[in-house]
A = this chain, B = another copy of it.
């Protein structure tokens, strides 16, 4: 196999198997190439991935060693993409009653979701994450896209019990703004105990839902190592937001439902 063909094959492999540790012999056998040739290929790819701002290849020596593509995306490019999303979100027709913003078109667009996911992957790059947790429905695609880059499972908390999936843990929580009591459910077999998880969701206002998720996850002895929220809304109530340690990509402010006005700026990820 020629070097040019190996480079294409390896690039495809790495991009489709992020974070997967693979022994070099896997490639030397598949390509019928020497270890030094494959090492050189990997090195060329490592440099080019860094150049493209999409991450890097880690090369671990030893018996259990191998190569591994770690996605890590250029923050300046993210900033451009998210700034463009801010502009799109300022469209007055997106203002919904109750202080919500219409975003379903963006969260249903795979290339937008991909770009949002990249920012979270970069934000949580230093954390060891075993699972991505979200609550149905709107954040699922986004959580899945993040989980794809991290190559860990997505766990979806349900709002109500459906067909039995064995014993479940459920909690009641108070929705931050409306003060309504709501329920969240997670079947026990969906998440092992003691995992490191990151929470991904589309929108936060008072933070009641996320704080409910954190309570539910405590029942699974999970450690929440990151909370990534695409858009944070305004919380104009006296009381403080129910959670304060989260990463947001955009920030919605000065929403006026009557006049259909809305300001959308970059979230706290870009201050860090």
A residues adjacent to B (C-beta < 8 A): 3-5, 7-9, 11-12, 15-17, 44-45, 47-49, 51-52, 54, 96-98, 100, 102, 104-105, 108-111, 113-114, 136-137, 140-141, 144-145, 147-148, 151-156, 158, 163-166, 187, 189-190
Contacts and interface: CB of A to CB of B under 8 A. Distances in A.
Nearest first, the 7 closest Cβ-Cβ pairs linking A and B are: A11-B11, A8-B48, A141-B144, A140-B140, A110-B148, A108-B153, A136-B137
Contacts of A45: 8
12 contacts: A8-B52, A11-B11, A11-B12, A12-B15, A108-B147, A110-B144, A110-B148, A110-B153, A111-B151, A137-B140, A137-B156, A140-B140
Nearest to A11: B11
Given A4-B4, A9-B52, A51-B5, A114 B16 contact: yes
A4 B7 contact: yes
